[in-house]
Amino acid sequence: MDPGPFERIDLHTHSTCSDGTLAPAALVALAATRQVQLLALTDHDTTAGCAEARAACHTLGIEFLEGMELTALWGECEVHIVALAIRREDPGLQQHAATVRALRAERVHRIAARLTEAGLDGESLAAGAFGLSTVPTRTHLARALLAAGHAKDLQAAFDQWLGRARPGYVAPEWPDVATSVAAVLGAGGTAVLAHPHRYKLSNTALRELCAQFKAAGGAALEVSIAGMSPDSQARMAQLARRFDLAGSIGSDFHEPGLPWRPLGRFAKLPEAVRSVTARLGLGPANVEKQ
C-alpha cells in the first residue's frame, strides 16, 4: 500500500477522557517520542479530549484527526466503530454520543443495584466507578470491585461478577450499527469497524457484519492493530478486500503499562489492502492545517 506522506500512523487511541490513563497532551507527547506523524484520538463516545490533543499535536508537528470510538450493538454483540476526521461540533454526532453516555451511566447504576442484591455495597461501587471516570465503563466497575477486595484482578471481576450470567450482568442497549454509522457520516466522518477479530463471532457472522457495515456506509476495517496475530491480520485483510473496505491501523492504546498495545508500534498494512488514509484524502495538499 501507499502510506502517503505518513510512515507512522496511529488511528485508535484513548486518553483519560475515557478509559485511558494519560491525559490527551501526555498521550500526544508519548506519540511524539514514538515518531508518530498522524494521530487520531478516539475516546469512547466522547470528543472531550480532542481540543487538547489537537493543540498538543500542533505544537509537536503531528497531524491530528478528530476521532471517537462509538459503542454500538449488532444483534446481541457489542461492536465498536471508530469515527475519523469528524466535525467535532456536529450536533447529530454529539447528541448520539450523549445518548450512549447516558445509557452507559444508567447501565452502571443498574449493575450496581444487582450487585447490591447479591450482597455487595453496590452504591459505593458505582461511586467508585464514577470517581474513576465521568463516562464509566464496566472496566471502571471492575476496577472498583478490585479496589473493594471483591476480585483478585480485572478478569476475575468479570468472571465472578460482571460477565454474562453473573450476578451483576445487565445486557447492553446501545444504538445499532446503521444508526451509529449514520451519525458518523452526518458529521462528515469516516466510519471504521474497530478490531473485528476480537468479536466472538463465527466467520459467517463476521462476514454478515461487514456486509451490513458496508451497506450502512462504513468505509474501513481495522486490519492492523497492535497485538493482532499474523493469522488474524490475514483474515481481516481478506474481509477488507472481499467487501471493498479500506484498512485502518492503530494501537487501541490505553496505558503505557500495557506493552501489547504500544502507541504507534505495530505491523504495516498488508500490501493488498487500501489504506484508510487515502480514503481520508490525506496527502500533502489535502491535510487540513488548523
Q: Which span (64-72, 113-121, 176-184, 270-278) binds Mn ion, by CB under 5 A?
A: 64-72
Distance separating alpha carbons of residues 215 and 196, to the nearest angstrom: 16
Rounded to a whole number, what is the distance in angstroms from the first to the last CA of the chain? 27
Query: Which amino acid, residue 45?
Result: D
Joined grid coordinates for residue 58: 500542533
By the rule CB under 5 A, 10 interacts with Mn ion: no
Complex with Mn ion: residue 169 or 199, whichever CB lies closer:
199
Q: Which span (174-182, 225-233, 247-255, 259-267) binds Mn ion, by CB under 5 A?
A: 247-255
Least distance from Mn ion to the Cβ atom of residue 75, Å: 17
Provide the β-strand partners of residue 214. Answer: none
Least distance from Mn ion to the Cβ atom of residue 12, Å: 6
Complex with Mn ion: residue 54 or 138, whichever CB lies closer:
138
Complex with Mn ion: residue 85 or 120, whichever CB lies closer:
85
By the rule CB under 5 A, 19 interacts with Mn ion: yes
Least distance from Mn ion to the Cβ atom of residue 177, Å: 14
Distance separating alpha carbons of residues 247 and 244, to the nearest angstrom: 10
Beta strand spans in 27-161 (E): 38-41, 63-74, 77-84
Distance separating alpha carbons of residues 125 and 108, to the nearest angstrom: 9
By the rule CB under 5 A, 52 interacts with Mn ion: no
Q: Are 15 and 27 in contact (CB under 8 A)?
A: yes
Q: Are 54 and 39 in contact (CB under 8 A)?
A: no
Complex with Mn ion: residue 126 or 226, whichever CB lies closer:
226
Least distance from Mn ion to the Cβ atom of residue 224, Å: 14
Tell me which long-range contacts 30-33 makes (C-beta under 8 A, separation of at least 24): 30/256, 30/263, 31/62, 31/263, 31/264, 32/60, 32/61, 32/62
Q: Which residue among 80, 114, 143, 214 contacts Mn ion (CB under 5 A)?
A: 80
**Beta-strand relationship, 220-225 and 190-193:** parallel
Least distance from Mn ion to the Cβ atom of residue 289, Å: 27
Q: Which span (62-70, 125-133, 165-173, 225-233) binds Mn ion, by CB under 5 A?
A: 62-70
Least distance from Mn ion to the Cβ atom of residue 257, Å: 14
By the rule CB under 5 A, 197 interacts with Mn ion: no
Distance separating alpha carbons of residues 127 and 135, to the nearest angstrom: 12
By the rule CB under 5 A, 252 interacts with Mn ion: yes
Q: Which span (19-27, 91-99, 157-165, 261-269) binds Mn ion, by CB under 5 A?
A: 19-27
Which residues contact Mn ion by CB under 5 A? 19, 69, 80, 194, 252
